[in-house]
Amino acid sequence: GGDIEIYRSNFKYPHMKLNAEGNIVMRGVNFQNFGSRSKSHLFLDSNDTILIKDCNLYAPGYNLVVIGSNSKPKKIIFDNMRFGVPAAQQCVQILGVDNNCEILFRNVRGYSACNFLRLSNRHNSTGIKLSFYNSHLGIYPTSEAKKYPYWNGLLNFDDYTSTTLEECLANNQHGRDKVEVKFVNCKYWTNEPS
């Protein structure tokens, strides 16, 4: 569609794929799934802005929100978002964005077994600004996640498009000119001993 807007709604057993030519806006939306763990719940593709505000996602899954599978968003905003149950992989997975994309997490609470956020830069975009404000994020490595400790961490910068180490180093998809990261007034929690 052009713009997609969803307001003050409740979804049980969510599995949504939204493709927008314009903006995707979700405000006051609750997602619930108290059944078995499922795969990703929200697939969001837009070449403009994605805004998720005042929402709760209480649905166990592998990757709870996947963005940019088939698009290059210009701006991604999570504002007052609660991931009420931990993710088995990532709470948010962003596969691709446009140049100078702003990715903002403000007043977000979420936990994951591996990473809160996986950021891939499959378009090798530059000028990406990733910011976290007033958020409480955490990792609780499960026995399955502990088998692969190199994947565990709050942020996972993943180049999944390069096929060789040489190509990966040449592309440098997460270099200084590509991604800037900022944390302001955030808390981190883990169940791992120090």
Q: Pick 174 or 146 by higher pLDDT.
A: 174
Query: Binning pLDDT at 50, 70 and 90, where does residue 194 land?
Result: very low
Lowest mean pLDDT among 46-55, 59-68, 164-173: 59-68
Mean pLDDT of 144-166: 81
Q: Residue 83: what pLDDT?
A: 86
Query: Binning pLDDT at 50, 70 and 90, where does residue 50 land?
Result: very high
**Whether pTM exceeds 0.85:** yes
Q: Residue 115: what pLDDT?
A: 86
Residue pLDDT, tens place only, 88-118: 788 899 999 999 999 999 999 998 878 899 9
Q: Is the pLDDT of residue 126 over 60?
A: yes
C-alpha distances in angstroms, 57 versus 33, 126, 164, 176?
A: 9, 30, 37, 33
Mean pLDDT of 53-58: 91
